[in-house]
Amino acid sequence: MQLDRLVNFHKTVGDKTRLRIIGLLKEGPLHGQAIAGKLGLTPPTISHHITKLKEIDVIVQRRDKNTIYYHLNERKLSLLASAITKLGDEEMNTEFQVSDEEKLKVLSNFFDDNGQLKSIPAQLKKRLIVLEHIIKGLEPGKSYPEPKINEHIKKYHEDFATIRREFIMHHFMTRDKGYYELNPRELWLI
């Protein structure tokens, strides 16, 4: 983590309009015109701010027909926000990317020899690794009815409801009228 990146994060976020956008997107994704309307600004202005927020990775987007929906990446936001308290620490360099080794280690700790999840990790970082592993068995672009999703999760752990909820909460998938679909990888919080 280089200093300039941290400077840029705070510079970007140190703007009333952009903080208001972040506040809005915490409630859920919105498209450009909707944001412009809610903030009383013009679409080009929003475009300008969204570009900056995307540059620091706290916003990702998903297209639906003509409309682009902007999502807040809360995990990135929180990692970047706390970096300032770790200025100079060694830890600073490692926290932003989870290495493959680390993932393997967590997976081997939480799954038994039959591939069953022994318990749901309490720590967010580890929980995301486990969720990523489970969701990999599903197909991108395909639409699944709820029972299919439950069935898939039950292959790993009996508490399918909790895990299904986590999938939604951390933007691994989207639910629409009882059907579930994987989100594009950029929306995953890992």
Residue 11, burial from CB neighbour count under 10 angstroms (0-12, 13-18, 19+): exposed
Q: Where are the alpha helices (DSSP H) in 14-123?
A: 16-26, 32-39, 43-55, 74-83, 100-110
When asked if residue 119 is in the footprint of DNA (CB under 7 A), the reply is: no
Candidate list 1, 6, 17, 103; residue touching DNA; CB under 7 A: 17
The answer to the question of residue 22 lying near a copy of itself (CB under 8 A) is: yes
Residue 112 structure tokens: 């038994």
162 binds DNA (CB under 7 A): no
Which helix (H) or strand (E) is 154 found in, with range? helix 146-154
Q: Is residue 177 left, alpha or beta, with left meaning phi > 0 and alpha meaning psi from -120 to 50?
A: left
Q: Does 78 bind a copy of itself (CB under 8 A)?
A: yes
Under the binding rule (CB under 8 A), the answer on residue 20 touching a copy of itself is: yes
Measured from the Cβ of residue 167, the count of other Cβ atoms closer than 10 Å reads: 23
Q: How far is the CB of 38 from DNA (least distance, A)?
A: 12
- Among 53, 77, 129, 134, the residue binding a copy of itself under the rule CB under 8 A is 77
- Partnered with residue 176 across adjacent β-strands are 179
Query: In this chain, which stretch among 16-24, 59-67, 100-108, 158-166 interacts with a copy of itself, using CB under 8 A?
Result: 16-24
| Residue 141 binds to a copy of itself (criterion: CB under 8 A) | no
Whichever of 14 and 141 has its CB closer to a copy of itself, that residue is: 14
The contact set with DNA (CB under 7 A) reads: 11, 15-17, 31-33, 41-45, 47-52, 63, 65-68
